[in-house]
Amino acid sequence: MTKVLIVEDETNIREMVTERLEEEGFAVVSASTFAMGQRLFASEQPDLVILDWRLPDGQGIELLKQWRQSGATTPVVFLSARVELIDKVLGLELGANDYITKPFEMRELIARLRVQERWLAGQFQSGDASNSARLESHGVTLELGSHDVFYHGEQLSLTRKEFSMLHLFLSHPGQVFTRDELLDQVWGYDQYPETRTVDTHVMQLRQKLSNDLIETVRGVGYRWVKNNPNLTNN
Ligand code: CA
């Protein structure tokens, strides 16, 4: 049974998540403070952690830093009401495995935990799941280790940026990304391409895949058509 530690000071969220995860067959231990999270992480040795950003006695990110510095690779999914991208990026750079912004749907949180759970299972089996993890959606397969991309079984040749963009879309189906967000996440802060570069790359991806898969949300940006992607290991 996968053991999840949730560190969250908002009682209603903590209880709702605990209840739903138990229904899903997870074992759950919960903490409402930084100090308690620190203690339970050491004593309970959870398989996965759901970590709130802002705790009454400290920042979730500081807990994560401590764990990573001590060599723990336990997958951590951040819960945060803060939507600033820099925070998300920081969280991921410091070793968070995923993040979800409040308010969120339980279904989405569970789907993300399942992804981490499969990653753990793959790691346990092969010793290195990162080489065999893949994302699949609407006939598109992204091999995360080799960076190979297939569309209905046919291998495509993508540039590095096209791959990064596709990776971002497939990781967040249905989520709308503005051009600025795409620039930040795909190109990074150190480069300043023009926003129409994003349009060009979307156009190229549509040509290589299909026009239907990346939707234009008028006045906002782009999104991948919604579905339930599978992250599988082979
Ligand atoms: Ca909080």
Whichever domain contains 185, its CATH number is: 1.10.10.10
Q: How many CB atoms lie within 10 A of CB 40?
A: 18
Instruction: Give 13 Cα–ligand 1 centroid separation in angstroms.
Output: 10
Instruction: Give 120 Cα–ligand 1 centroid separation in angstroms.
Output: 27
**Would the pLDDT of 22 be above 70?**
yes
Instruction: Give 44 Cα–ligand 1 centroid separation in angstroms.
Output: 22
Do 18 and 107 fall into the same domain?
A: yes
Report, as an integer, the average pLDDT of 28-46.
Answer: 96
Instruction: Give 221 Cα–ligand 1 centroid separation in angstroms.
Output: 30
Instruction: Give 183 Cα–ligand 1 centroid separation in angstroms.
Output: 29
Q: Which residues pair with 216 in a beta bridge?
A: 222
At 101-114, the pLDDT tens digits run 888 889 989 998 98
User: Quick one: pLDDT at residue 189?
Assistant: 56
Domain-ending residue, one of 73, 96, 127: 127
Range of the domain at 155: 131-233
Tokens read off for 150 = 């297939």
Residue 74 is which amino acid? T
Global pTM value: 0.54
Report, as an integer, the average pLDDT of 74-94.
Answer: 72
Residue showing tokens 């994560």: 64
Instruction: Give 9 Cα–ligand 1 centroid separation in angstroms.
Output: 5
**Greater model confidence, 223 or 132:** 223
Of all residues in the chain, what percent carry a pLDDT higher than 90? Answer: 38
Confidence of residue 191 (pLDDT cuts 50, 70, 90): low
Question: Which residues touch 221 (CB under 8 Å, ≥6 apart)?
Answer: 176, 177, 178, 179, 181, 182
**Would the pLDDT of 234 be above 60?**
no
Instruction: Give 118 Cα–ligand 1 centroid separation in angstroms.
Output: 28
Domain-ending residue, one of 127, 156, 185: 127
**97/92 Cα distance (integer angstroms):** 6
Of all residues in the chain, what percent carry a pLDDT higher than 70? Answer: 85
In this structure, the chain runs to a length of 234
SS (H, E, C) 198-228: HHHHHHHHHHHCCCCCEEEECCCEEEECCCC
Q: Which residues pair with 69 in a beta bridge?
A: none
Instruction: Give 115 Cα–ligand 1 centroid separation in angstroms.
Output: 24
At 213-232, the pLDDT tens digits run 999 999 899 999 876 444 44
Domain-ending residue, one of 101, 127, 153: 127
Tokens read off for 45 = 């040795």
User: Quick one: pLDDT at residue 227?
Assistant: 61
Do 34 and 146 fall into the same domain?
A: no
**Would the pLDDT of 86 be above 60?**
no
Number of domains observed in the structure of the chain: 2
Residue showing tokens 């967000």: 181
Instruction: Give 73 Cα–ligand 1 centroid separation in angstroms.
Output: 23
Residue showing tokens 């930084």: 34
**26 with 113: CB under 8 angstroms?**
yes
Instruction: Give 60 Cα–ligand 1 centroid separation in angstroms.
Output: 9
Instruction: Give 191 Cα–ligand 1 centroid separation in angstroms.
Output: 33
